[in-house]
């Protein structure tokens, strides 16, 4: 038996605010684009940069979380899988679209960082952690933790993480 792998990990910035819709059966689905940059040195010694845009789709609780917390310019980590859809256009041509179906999302900056609304002189407020059950996943916001110097501003209120939940774990027994 051969094994295969379909896993995507992206760190980039949102190109626009997420758009949440509902399926006919009422399931939330949120779509957004994430920009990643590639840099290299050309033959003449100059540095070049190119931006790639990735279409991301989140479902259920993750869709609601992305719609609520993500905004244009936010730095995020997205983990998921690639999926290519196809359909017939009105001209009779087969169209294809490849998307990242998100399974995990981590916010890597503070809410105002994308728009420059953060005042660096004020200390970060302490936030109570939030846990939301999502089928086999849990959404959790951790309080700030020390990191390497320069890695995050003192204003950071901690990342919002989507992490696997243990099947037999009772949310009331969690230490956060």
Specify the 3-state DSSP secondary structure of 110.
coil
Give the per-residue pLDDT at 114: 61
**pLDDT tens-digit map of 24-75:** 999 999 999 999 999 999 999 999 999 999 999 999 999 999 999 999 999 9
Q: Taking the CA atoms of the chain, what radius of gyration do you get in angstroms?
A: 19
Q: How far is CA 140 from CA 15, 90, 95, 107, 132, in A?
A: 24, 43, 38, 11, 7
Structure tokens at 57: 């789709």
Structure confidence by residue, pLDDT tens digits, 128-146: 443 333 443 444 444 443 3
pLDDT value at residue 154: 38
Structure pTM? 0.63
Sequence-distant (6+) residues with CB within 8 A of 126 are 143, 144
């Amino acid at each position: 038996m051969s094994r295969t792998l379909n896993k995507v990990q992206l760190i980039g910035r949102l190109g626009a605010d997420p758009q949440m819709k509902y399926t006919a059966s009422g399931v939330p689905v949120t779509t957004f684009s994430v920009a990643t940059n590639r840099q290299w040195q050309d033959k003449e010694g100059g540095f070049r940069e190119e931006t790639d845009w990735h279409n991301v789709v989140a479902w259920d609780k993750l869709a609601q979380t992305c719609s609520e917390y993500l905004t244009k310019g936010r730095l995020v980590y997205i983990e998921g899988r690639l999926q290519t859809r196809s359909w017939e256009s009105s001209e009779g041509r087969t169209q294809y679209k490849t998307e990242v179906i998100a399974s995990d999302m981590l916010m890597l900056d503070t809410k105002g960082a994308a728009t420059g609304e953060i005042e660096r002189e004020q200390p970060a407020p302490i936030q109570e952690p939030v846990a939301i059950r999502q089928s086999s996943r849990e959404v959790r916001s951790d309080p700030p933790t020390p990191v390497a110097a320069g890695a995050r501003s003192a204003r950071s209120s901690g990342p919002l993480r989507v992490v696997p939940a243990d099947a037999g774990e009772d949310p009331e027994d969690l230490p956060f």
